[in-house]
Structures are given as structure tokens and as C-alpha cells.
Amino acid sequence: MNFALNALNVLMMLFVVAVGVISATILVLFVIDRMQRKDAIRRNYPVIGRFRHLFSALGEFFRQYFFAMDREEMPFNRAQRDWVERTSDGGGNTVAFGSTRSLGVPGTPIFMNAAFPPLEEQFAETRPMVIGPGAAVPFVAKSIFNISGMSYGALSRPAVRALSRGAAKAGVWMNTGEGGLSPFHLEGGCDVVFQIGTAKYGVRDGEGHLSDQRLREVAENPHVKMFELKLAQGAKPGKGGILPGEKVSEEIGKIRGIEPGKPSISPNRHTEIDGWGDLLDMIAHIRTVTGKPVGFKTVLGSSDPWEEFFTLIDERGAESAPDFITIDGGEGGTGAAPMPLIDLVGMPIREALPRIVDLRDRHGLHDRIRIIASGKLVNPGDVAWAICAGADFVTSARGFMFSLGCIQALKCNRNTCPTGITTHDARLQRGLVVEEKDDRVAHYAKGIIKEIETIAHSVGVTEPRQMRRRHVRIVQADGRSVPMNQLFPSVDLGAS
């Protein structure tokens, strides 16, 4: 009996203490909120006004799991993410009952199935394609779908390791992003495309200029197959890369050739390139020094200025042309960029890609310059559309991030990524097990290629690169669909 009374007294005392602590805390917060001047809601509604910020912060997570429909979220909806998730698991990827996609949304591609598609024994494998036939060491690219530029620094060490190993298993290439070549890009033994950003990370001298010696050193690695000059990327055209200081470790600083602990902000363009002639000169110089194919990545604001670029190639000769052009859409992603650039600047890939393809073909450079499409192309329909539009290859960054386990937490720029993909917090990186994730990367790459082949067979061709604009219709504002070759007539109408 005494024991029960004593326990009850202790509980009562704890309750009184708890009430006192809570009351004191509320009183302190009330005084702070009432006295502060920055937030009108908190000043007028002390304590209670704080819940507005809490609910706003949690809103994106509640929407993702409880409120948003399968096709509603941005930048990627649940249906898109779930497709990548199932494919990365390596299991079946069939769904039941019917599509949740509205076919009346303007811009939606609808592939035109053939009356008599090829039989299974008539299917053909997608053949490797040569990039840079005039380079000393051309690149024979095996896969139509590959990993887009993501830097070590923007991504964590285990993320880069898993991507490298998965890329090797799937036979796809991996772009380093502008952060230089790390040992982790090379770990898996995959084909690597070295990206040269405006700060020349990894190939710069002490003053930040392009170093021929460093270029040769990188090119000597047999896994490095091509060099890509980054002129612009879709999420932030006109602005250089941004790497927060907390992500610039000693190791990353050494790889990039910059001071650790300080924010790394690249120039908004290459200081040596003031015009089209300078661009062609730079491409020729890097190709001569390295012996490898060289191209560039950019975003179209308009296709009109690029007419001058292709005209200059005509004057100089086809040998002066870039070996490839990567077109990133204005809807492309990144770890950190100003919202006005993400939201408002850059032509979408759906318009930019056909325009640059037509410019290339109009100038007779179809077999000289390969076109690589990038920018929010993560599902089979997206990639198949790009191939129909004229792309020779497609690359994806965020699709492969989803294969690693990205949950679209939107924390890439804060070093607090809960999945360990874009953080350098060792505790959070523990969640990303390389030996598990590399298989998911490979499954995703192989799975999306298989589904693209399925679409190709459905429209009546034996392999994906035989698809043309006539094989896909685009939904218009009035709900009707129009063949893409009517919206963007190809130069060679017989091949449209």
C-alpha cells in the first residue's frame, strides 16, 4: 500500500514538474514572440504562430505521402518515382487495371502502334554508335541510355561508387559532372565522360586556367572516353556551379584544385570563349591534346543564334565540328540554383531538342555530330520520345538518383540528405550501402532500355534508333493529337 502511494506521489510530482516546465517554456516563447519584430504572425499570435512555420516545413512530406495523387507532384510525381523504384528492384514492372495518366494534357506523347509489329525473332539489338570518328581514339558507345553529369562533391562518396559500379554492370557511361575525376568514378571500371566546367576543376593550373598537362593526365586513363565542355545546364543557365563550403572537404578540394572549406562557385561561362569561333577553337584544342572525342553541353534560349554556329562549321569544315552536343532542357535539375533560373530560364527539352537536331541535319552533319538529350527524362516514354525527336543518346541524372533511393526530400543543397546521396555527413551516408545500390543502378539502366525497345517494337521497328517523329503524336490544347513530324518537319522528310 505504501509503495503504491509513494509511486503515485512520484508521478504527481513529475506531472507538476512537467506542467511547470511546459508553462515556463510557453511563457518564455510568448515573451520572445511578442518582443521580436521580424515576424508579424508570431508578434500578433505568440506561440501559436510558430505552428505555421512547422506545418509549412512538414507540408511537402505530408503531400508526398498522403494527399497528392499519383500524377500531381513536382518536379517528379509518385507514378514516375514508383516506376523507377520497381525497375531498380529488378522485379516485374507491370501494373493492373489501367493507366492513371491523363491523355488529354497538352504535350503528352502518344506512340503510334503498328498494325503488324515485328515478331520476336525479328527484333534487333541496339547497335553501338561511334562518337568522334575523327579523333585519335574514337568512342564506341554501347548504350543508348547513360548517366548524366553529377559531381563528386555534389554527390557523396558512396553514391558515386554505387553509380560507377552499376554503370559498369549495365554497360552504360557515367559523366563526372564538373567536379573533376575522383577515384570513385573509376572504381567500377565503367566508361567515363569527363566534364570540364567553367572553373576547370580537375584540369586547371594554379591560376584556374585550363592545363594541357592535366588534360593529358586525365586522358591517359583508359576509362575516360570523352570530354564534355559544360557551357550551361538546364537548372541554371547563365550561372556557374554552386558547391557549399561544408561540402568542400580536403579530399574534394584536392580533386578539384580548390581550397577546402570555402564555397566553390564557378564562373557563369568560360572566360576564354567569347564567341562561336572561340568555342570551336577550344574544342579543337582539347581534342588535339587528349586525342579523345570532345563536345559540349548547353541549354537553348533560342535556336536562332545557333544558325551562326553551324554556318561557321560549314566554313571551317566538318572536321572542326564538335563530336557531340548535349542539349539540357530548362526543366533540368541541380543541387543548388536560384529559383528564378530553375523556374523561368531556358527552353524546355521538348522544344529545344527537335530544333537543334534540325539545325544539325540541315547543315549535313547528321553523321558527324551526335546529339545527346538530357533534362527530366527518367521513364521509358520520355526517352523514347527523345529518340523519336532525333536524339542519338539520352542521359539522366535524377533517374539514377531515384535508383539509388532518392525520396525527393529536396535537401540536396543543405548537406542533410536523408538517403545519404547528396550529403557528406558520415552518419547519413551509412544508409547508402554500395553493394546493394549498384545492382539497383544496373537494374534501372537495363530496365529502361528494355522498355524503350518494347515501345520501338510496338510502333513497328526492330530497334529504338529506327523510331522517327512520325511514330509519335503530341496532344494539343484542344485535346486532339498531331504527329510530331507535322509540328517539327525533319529536313529529310522521308526519314521524319
pLDDT single digits (tens) 362-379: 999 999 999 999 988 989
C-alpha cell at 304: 536562332
298 and 375 in a single domain? The answer is yes
Cα 125 from Cα 246, distance rounded (Å): 46
pLDDT bracket for residue 269 (50, 70, 90): confident
Is 454 a member of any domain? Answer: yes
H/E stretch holding 3 reads helix 2-35
How far out from the chain centre does Cα 256 lie?
21
Number of Cβ within a 10 Å radius of residue 189: 13
Structure confidence at residue 102 (pLDDT):
73
- 396 contact partners, CB below 8 Å, separation of at least 6: 145, 146, 147, 148, 374, 377, 378, 383
Nearest to 146 by CA among 421, 378, 433: 378
138 and 201 in a single domain? The answer is yes
467 and 323 in a single domain? The answer is yes
Domain count, the chain: 2
199 and 275 in a single domain? The answer is yes
Output the average pLDDT for the chain: 85
**The CATH number of the domain where 272 resides is what?**
3.20.20.70
Is 402 a member of any domain? Answer: yes
Angstrom distances, CA of residue 131 to CA of 225, 324, 421, 465: 10, 7, 31, 15
295 and 441 in a single domain? The answer is yes
Is 106 a member of any domain? Answer: no
How far out from the chain centre does Cα 120 lie?
33
Comparison of pLDDT for 170 and 241, the residue scoring more = 170
Question: Residue ranges of the alpha helices (H) in 63-156?
Answer: 78-89
What's the whole-number mean pLDDT along residues 248-262? 83
Q: What is the pLDDT of residues 453-486, one digit of tens each?
A: 999 999 999 999 999 999 999 999 998 999 999 9
Q: What is the pLDDT of residues 172-191, one digit of tens each?
A: 999 999 889 999 999 999 99
Is 87 a member of any domain? Answer: no
* Residue 410: domain span: 120-495
H/E stretch holding 242 reads strand 242-243
367 and 469 in a single domain? The answer is yes
HSE-up of residue 277 (Cα within 13 Å, Cβ side): 2
Is 110 a member of any domain? Answer: no
Between 18-32, 249-263, 406-420, the lowest mean confidence (pLDDT) is in 406-420
Answer whether the bond into residue 75 is a cis peptide, omega within 30°: yes
Structure confidence at residue 496 (pLDDT):
54
Q: What angle separates helix 380-389 from helix 434-459, to the nearest 10 degrees?
A: 50
63 and 124 in a single domain? The answer is no
Is 86 a member of any domain? Answer: no
Is 113 a member of any domain? Answer: no
- Domain end residue (candidates: 25, 46, 67): 67
Comparison of pLDDT for 201 and 13, the residue scoring more = 201
33 and 179 in a single domain? The answer is no
pLDDT bracket for residue 494 (50, 70, 90): very low
Backbone angles phi, psi at 62, to 5 degrees: -65, -40
- Domain end residue (candidates: 28, 45, 67): 67
329 and 443 in a single domain? The answer is yes
59 and 124 in a single domain? The answer is no
Cα 328 from Cα 348, distance rounded (Å): 8
- Domain end residue (candidates: 41, 67, 93): 67
Cα 337 from Cα 412, distance rounded (Å): 11
59 and 141 in a single domain? The answer is no
Q: Is the pLDDT of residue 234 over 70?
A: no
Cα 50 from Cα 46, distance rounded (Å): 8
C-alpha cell at 485: 513530324
Nearest to 346 by CA among 297, 386, 300, 396: 300
Q: Is the pLDDT of residue 141 over 60?
A: yes
Between 146-150, 270-274, 336-340, the lowest mean confidence (pLDDT) is in 336-340
Q: What is the pLDDT of residues 413-443, one digit of tens each?
A: 677 787 788 887 788 888 788 888 899 999 9
7 and 155 in a single domain? The answer is no
Any bridge partners for residue 196, and if so which? 229
Q: What angle separates helix 349-362 from helix 304-316, to the nearest 10 degrees?
A: 30
Q: Is the pLDDT of residue 56 over 70?
A: no
Is 489 a member of any domain? Answer: yes
